[in-house]
Amino acid sequence: MSEPGERQAGEDIPQSVARNIAAIREWKASRRAKARPGDKIAAAISSFAGSMPFVYIHLVLFGGWIGINLGWVPGLPRWDPSLVILAMAASVEAIFLSTFVLINQNQMAVEVDEKAELDLQVNLLNERETTRLITMIQAVADHLGVQTGIEGDLGELRRDTEPDVILDAVRTGREKADD
């Protein structure tokens, strides 16, 4: 039970926010469901390799291997006294783990690009709606004969945003900064 004045998770959120949360969860679930089997395996391995159980397993295995092969555990035969086999096994493991991590990172980069595209589209839609609202409010103010004090800025504010023009300006600015 919560204390008076405390909110429970999901309480009092607008329906539009709840719909957006659900849509994003569905999008993520759809992406996971459509992932190729190899990508799913790489994600699972990367996830496990980045966990504390992975660290503990390696501490036990490598520590035991080293301890036994340095002769610290009496009664057990030393099969790799120079630890060359351990070094080779660790190197092969590192090669595969780094490959799995790179595969997983590539998938994450695709997801980030898709989210950036969504953000851009939502921002452009918001910009268009805001521009239209400014135009409508100014028309109402003009009709009522109200001076807003920002009439000088309205021409610029009512212009539609042109993403290609902005991207060109950003690119040109970056190129000048790099010179």
Length of the chain: 179
**pLDDT at residue 11 greater than cutoff 80:** no
Q: Which sequence spans correspond to the domains of the chain?
A: 15-178
Give the Å distances, CA to CA, from 44 to 37, 86, 103, 114, 139. Answer: 11, 25, 11, 22, 57
pTM of the model: 0.69
Q: How far apart are CA 158 and CA 172, in angstroms?
A: 25
105/158: higher pLDDT: 105
Q: Quote the percentage of the chain above a pLDDT of 90.
A: 60
pLDDT of res. 153? 80
Q: pLDDT tens digits for 34-57?
A: 999 999 999 999 999 999 999 999
* 8, pLDDT greater than 70: no
Comparing 81 with 3, the larger pLDDT belongs to 81
**CB-based contacts of 85, cutoff 8 Å, min separation 6:** 79
| pLDDT for the residue numbered 5 | 54
Q: Of 139 and 80, which is predicted with more confidence?
A: 80
Rounded mean pLDDT, 20-45: 92
What is the average pLDDT value for the chain, to the nearest integer? 90
pLDDT at 151 over 80: no
* Pairwise CA distance, residues 78 & 67, whole Å: 9
**Closest-CA residue to 89 (of 71, 72, 69):** 69
